[in-house]
Each structure stands twice: as C-alpha cells, then as structure tokens.
Structure 1
Amino acid sequence: MQYIENKTFSELKIGDSAELTRTLKPQDIELFAVMSGDVNPAHVDAEYAQSDMFHKVIAHGMWGGALISAVLGTELPGPGTIYLNQNLSFRNAVGLGDTVTVRVTVAALEPAHRHVTFDCICLNQNGETVIEGQALAIAPLEKVRRPRTVLPEVHLHSRGERFEKLMQTTAPLPAVPTAVVHPCDALSLEGALEAGARGMIIPVLVGPRTKIETVAAGLGRDLSGVEIVDTPHSHASAEQAVALARTGKVQMLMKGKLHTDELLGPVVDKTTGLRTERRMSHVFALDVPSYPKMLMISDAAINIFPDLETKRDIVQNAINLARALGISRPKAALLSAVETVTSKIPSTLDAAALCKMADRGQITGGLLDGPFGFDNAVSKEAATTKGILSEVAGDPDILIVPDLESGNMIAKQLIYMAGADAAGIVLGARVPIILTSRADGVLSRLASAAMAQLYVHHNTKAAAP
C-alpha cells in the first residue's frame, strides 16, 4: 500500500522541493469543464482546440493553480497544508498532448504564522518554461501519514452520443420505405415523422386516419405528403402493414401504439406472414455510459426459452446486425452463471456447443466465446482474475443471454440503474422490424430506425451481383 506523509513546518528547510508530471489529454479538458461548469467555447469547442487562446486558458485553469495545489497538498508540505495565495506568470502555451512537470521549492519560511513561500515552475516536455511564479501556504503543525487515495476511474458520457453518431452514418444512404404500424400516440408518430425528416425512412402511416391526424395536430406536425393507409383498428393495422411488406411496397416495419404480440401475430403467420427459414429474434442496442462502445443484448424480447438451434439463429442475427453497423468481426459473449462447462447448468452446454458450431461454420462472421458469467464477460479485470484468456472477455460487442427472463432483466437493469439508452429491432423476418417499448422516447426510435436502415442497405449491397 502506498502512503502520503507530510512535512510539518519545523521539518521544512529552504531549498526543499517536490514535483509531479502530467500529460494534457482531451478527457482532462472535458472533466475540468464538467466540474467547473465552464463551457466557454474557447475552452471546450473543437474549433478552438488549436488556438493560442485555448492553450493559454487551459494552462491557466488546469495546470496553473490546480497542479501546483496538488503538489503542495500531497507532496510538499503534504496533507494539512492550507493554500493561501499564488502569483503566476504564463510564459508559453500548453496544448493537448503536452507533458508538464510542476516543481515547487521552499523559498522562505515565516515562523510566526507557519507561512511558507514556494518558488513554482512548470516545464513542458521540451524543457521550456510555461508557468512560473510563487505560491504562499500555511504548513501543517502535526505529522500526518495516511494511505494514498486511489482516484476513481471517471467515464464522461454525453447522453445519446453514440446513437447520434450511429444516425450520422446513415446520412449518405437513401431513405427506406417503412410501414409505421398504428402510430396513434404522440411518441410513435413523432418518432416516425422525425425519422422521415432525417432521411432515414419514408413513413407510410398505417392506422385509423382520424386518430393519426388528431395526434399530428396535437404535435403541430404537418402530414402533407405523408401517405396514410386507413385501417379501423390495431389488428387491421398490423395485417395491412405485413401485406405491404409482402408486396415489397415497404422494406421495414415500425411498431406504433399496439402490443408486440398484435404486431408479430401477422408477421409469423405461416401463409400470409413474413417468416423465413431463420428464427426471428430481438436485439437490444444499448449505449451504456460506463461501457466504451455500444453493447447488444439478444434475445430479451421474443424467444422465451430458446433451444440450441434457436440460439444459433439468435447469435447469427445479432452478428449480422453488428456487421451492418460497421463492426467487421463482432465479438459475442455467451452468458451463463459460471464460466466453466457443467451438465448441471444447461446454458453452459449450449455455450460450448455454439462455440463449436462457429468452428464448424454453422455460425459465421463473428468471434464467439463462452460460457461467461456477466462479470468476466464485460470486465477484462474480472476475467484476468479468474484466469480466463479470451479475445472476447472484457470486450464483447454482443451478449447472448440464456433466456428471455435473464436477458430482459440485464437490459432493464442497464437502462434504469446504469443510465443506458436503448434501441431495438427484430431480425429474421423478410424485413427488419423496429420494435421499441411504447414508453421509449424519440431518441430510441430514431436509433432503432437508423439500425434498421443500415441493415437493409447492408443486405442489399451483399445481395448485389
């Protein structure tokens, strides 16, 4: 264990010195802005990032008082020091990637008040002086020795940032004709119209015309130029939307204000539905603040207790979606309660079988491993502690859950306790189905539409001669 120990006033001598070295990173600037509330564009906007004003302001705000204070409070004199004053001169700019060494040296001692004057200098990686001056502090009277505090790892996360980037990737792509099924509430209609305005879909609104127009009026949205297929109720809306997909008039479905089983009933009809040889499955895409990339979970909405063959399709559907989103070799972690194969836990046997199926080419396009407990699936540290050597452990793009119950609980816990944003689509039918909760906001609906649009265009490109 590391300790920090101070020097009391009586222990200090002229010429005593201490230093620390730090490198300026983009996240340092973001964290400083969050903590201080300073959102001056000259400090945080990218367009200013190479300007002299940016560098000098950052040098003043982050490296001047803050780093000198850190040396005084932790090194010399150390814990118990009271920082009174500083007089600093900024000689050169400090930029992103610069490494600054801060050194303080005892210049004067005033016993009556335990005042200590320090000469302060900050040098960059080239040995150039960027800051110099003096600081005044009260040295501690009593000796202190205590464990050095390990600072927490900080993750800065902008709400919806990954989803916005996902939507930006759709900008060059043509909009996809989409049947919006029973958009008879504000959220589902707003999401569909906004997706249309962003060029992701061409909405075909399938539902009672009067209700749709009433909702649009309440939102202040103009439906001019938007096709409406009038139907009497939600069941008819689902049936008509599926019929439009069968004839090729639309290439995607988007769920509105109706129950999931109302929508999927006509989809899975053996005669008039949209079934293929592939089992249908749902994929959650989650933007989890504490995870470094978008995380997919499947299946947490359709297949309750999937058998091995169904899990094969669940895995393949998720891999295909990840590849459509630009992940060239998606990593899929197969979850269970433990990381070893045991006959007492069937999901571990399924995980082992799925890995072998991938080896034999029955699952393609991704990298599978498992079984994993949730901890060693998402945490490299946890996997290392348990001696697990795997490219997937700690870095999965996809989590494949044992059953719907466990998957739904994991997804909802990440949403409601970890602050994750969620999107979701159903794959395995003739067309992708944008399937979100009726309570999901516009962002979730837009991100889901973006995923489906990318999936359609990826499949179209793959099928081209």
Structure 2
Amino acid sequence: MSVLKSVDDLFEFARKCEKKTIALVGAEDVEAVKALVEAKKLGIADGLLIGNEEVVKRNLELIGAHDFKIIDSKDEYDASRKGVECVVRGDASILMKGLVKTSILLKEVLKDEWNLKVKELLSHVIVMDIPGFNRLLLLSDGGMVIKPNLEQKKMIIENAVEVAKKLGIEKPKVACLTAIETVNPNMPETLDSAILAMMNRRKQIKDCIVDGPLALDNAVSEKAAKVKGIESEVAGKADILITPDIHSGNMLGKSVVYFAGGKIGGVVVGAKVPIVLV
C-alpha cells in the first residue's frame, strides 16, 4: 500500500476497507457520539452505543441522529463490561472510550476471562496531521504508561512501529525525544535514548531506525538538525516521536490541536482489538 500522509488519506483508505463496528463505552459523551455519526455518514463504521439509555436517546435527538443500537448500562463498570463483551462476541471490532474513566475501561479489557491481551504492554499511540508537514507523525506514549523504564520504552517503540506499518510506512524512523540531543549523565532520559538507539543497531529493536537522544526541533526539522550538526537517518525526518514520560507525550499531543490547528487520533494498542482513546 502507499504511505498515508494525511487524515484525508486515512478516511479514503478506510472507505475502501470492510466497514467496522465500534462499541462506544460511555455513550453519554455527545462529542464521541458525533464522531460516530460522522463515521457512519462517511461509510467507514457503524456504532453500538453503551450507556444510560435515557441520556443517550436524548443526546441522539439533540444532534438529529438515528439508527444506532443502544445498550443500556447502569454505571461505568457495567458499561465497560458490556463493551468488552461486545468485542468478545464479535458484535464489534473496535472499542471507543466515551464518558468513562480510562482506568475502569482498561481494567475490564485486561481481565484474564476475556483473553484480549496479546502484548506484554499496552501503549497509547497518537497519529498527528500537522499543518506544514508533508507526512503524518506518530507520538507515544501520552496516554498509558506514566514513566516507562527502558524495557517498557522498547515495547512502546515496537507497538508504535506496528501502527506506522499499518499506515504504509515500511521502515519507520523513530526519534527518542529529550530536552537535548547529547548524552548527559545527569539526565537519565538521554541515557535511555542512547541505549535504545544502540539496541536498534544490535537488532534488539527491529523493523525501524531508532536514534536518540534528539530534541524535538532536530527530530522533525532537517534545517534544525543541520544547524546543530546532527547527521543521522532519523534527524529531521522522524516518523515516530517517543517521549520520556506520559506528561510530555500528553502535552505535546494536545499542543498540536490547540497551538497548531492540527488533527489527532489516539489508539491504545497491544490488545486483540484497538481501543480508541483521545
């Protein structure tokens, strides 16, 4: 497949694929329902709405939407369980977080009885369409792993690489971000980044090119990399940005929307089904 370079490319690709059914857990969330309505109009997905039936029906009337199956639930725990049951039965192939706590939904997903976990680590990947860039950028992890250790960072990279490949990026370029682009023993994040780059060279991390430490500017701007005298296959050309903790990842992802007018979509990967989480 050709490389998908924008949200429009993603929509066009989705239209050509088999239509999916999304189980929205916590369907009292009006904005999430609006997203499902739009996906249905585009012909890329149908939806199951799981939440307080009375509230969900009222919201559907307010936005003028119809033809959605509603599964009544009494609280967040009940909604999460019913959502997971939907994907286990095959009634839906994607979970989407609505008005429920992330921790409650993911705790249900990870229960042994469902056998949904396929990776040792679940991680969050944001796909970003940023004005001025000629490609999609991926960001991880701004939504799941609070302060990953070295082994967890390796798994975060591997999960993000799988997503990048789904977007047609054959050998993704991965930048391990820190505040600076040199190793500083007083900044442990720079040490991890350098180790991850060496692990990639030693084939301990495969199917991608990893470099680090890199600062944000010289990870995405060839001009900035040239000014700093950084020469690598990744500098200025990164496809995937790996942040040192959840705080930096979360803030960077949201800044794309609020400061740059970009578009983002987030998904938790590592389970048998994708979990939409923005």
Q: What TM-score results when the alignment is normalised by the length of structure 1?
A: 0.56
Q: Distance in 1 between matches of 2:124 and 2:193?
A: 19
SS, match of residue 283 in structure 1: strand
Contact 1:266 1:273 in 2 (8 A): no
Give ranges in structure 1 of 5+ residues lacking alignment: 1-160, 437-465
**Partner of residue 365, structure 1:** 207
Q: Distance in 1 between matches of 2:236 and 2:100?
A: 38
**Partner of residue 392, structure 1:** 234
Q: Distance in 2 between matches of 1:221 and 1:417?
A: 32
Q: Distance in 2 between matches of 1:371 and 1:392?
A: 11
**Partner of residue 220, structure 1:** 64
**Partner of residue 178, structure 2:** 336
Q: Distance in 2 between matches of 1:259 and 1:377?
A: 33
Contact 1:299 1:314 in 2 (8 A): yes
What's the CA shift for 1:357? 2.4
Residues 1:210 and 2:54 aligned together: yes
Residues 1:163 and 2:1 aligned together: no
**Partner of residue 323, structure 1:** 165
Q: Which runs of 4+ in 1 moved over 6 A?
A: none
Q: 2:147 aligns with which of 301, 305, 318?
A: 305
Deviations 1:403-431 (A, max 9, x none): 11111222222322222222111111121
- The one-letter code sitting in structure 2 at the alignment partner of 1:396 is A
Residues 1:176 and 2:32 aligned together: no
Deviations 1:215-246 (A, max 9, x none): 111111112xx332222222211111112223
**Partner of residue 138, structure 2:** 296
Residues 1:201 and 2:41 aligned together: no
What's the CA shift for 1:270? 4.2
Q: Distance in 1 between matches of 2:91 and 2:120?
A: 22
SS, match of residue 285 in structure 1: strand
Q: 1:380 aligns with which of 214, 222, 225?
A: 222
What's the CA shift for 1:273? 6.2
Q: Distance in 2 between matches of 1:362 and 1:271?
A: 32
SS, match of residue 190 in structure 2: helix
Q: Which has the larger radius of gyration?
A: 1
SS, match of residue 179 in structure 1: strand
Q: Distance in 2 between matches of 1:359 and 1:379?
A: 23
Q: Distance in 1 between matches of 2:179 and 2:42?
A: 42
**Partner of residue 82, structure 1:** none
**Partner of residue 443, structure 1:** none
Q: What TM-score results when the alignment is normalised by the length of structure 2?
A: 0.91
Q: Distance in 1 between matches of 2:264 and 2:251?
A: 14
Q: Report which structure shows greater RCO (CA 8 Å, sep ≥6).
A: 2
Q: Distance in 2 between matches of 1:237 and 1:263?
A: 8
Contact 1:285 1:297 in 2 (8 A): yes
Q: Distance in 2 between matches of 1:267 and 1:307?
A: 23
Q: Distance in 2 between matches of 1:337 and 1:431?
A: 34
Q: Distance in 1 between matches of 2:276 and 2:88?
A: 17
**Partner of residue 408, structure 1:** 250
What's the CA shift for 1:258? 2.1
Matches within 5 A, 1:88-127: none
Residues 1:276 and 2:118 aligned together: yes
**Partner of residue 122, structure 1:** none
What's the CA shift for 1:386? 1.8
- The one-letter code sitting in structure 1 at the alignment partner of 2:247 is E
- The one-letter code sitting in structure 2 at the alignment partner of 1:186 is V
Q: Distance in 2 between matches of 1:412 and 1:195?
A: 22
Deviations 1:348-391 (A, max 9, x none): 22112222322333322221111101121111122112221111
Contact 1:278 1:429 in 2 (8 A): no
- The one-letter code sitting in structure 1 at the alignment partner of 2:40 is G
Q: Distance in 2 between matches of 1:284 and 1:215?
A: 28
Deviations 1:177-204 (A, max 9, x none): 2211121132111211221232322312
SS, match of residue 6 in structure 2: helix
- The one-letter code sitting in structure 2 at the alignment partner of 1:380 is E
**Alignment RMSD, CA only?**
1.8
**Partner of residue 34, structure 2:** 190
What's the CA shift for 1:271? 4.2
- The one-letter code sitting in structure 2 at the alignment partner of 1:345 is M
- Corresponding residue pairs, total: 274
**Partner of residue 434, structure 1:** 276
Deviations 1:293-351 (A, max 9, x none): 22111101111100111111111111111110111121111111221223222112211
Q: Distance in 2 between matches of 1:194 and 1:289?
A: 22
SS, match of residue 15 in structure 2: coil
- The one-letter code sitting in structure 2 at the alignment partner of 1:377 is A
- The one-letter code sitting in structure 2 at the alignment partner of 1:387 is G
Contact 1:320 1:365 in 2 (8 A): no
**Partner of residue 422, structure 1:** 264
Deviations 1:146-199 (A, max 9, x none): xxxxxxxxxxxxxxx921222011111111222111211321112112212323
Contact 1:283 1:299 in 2 (8 A): yes
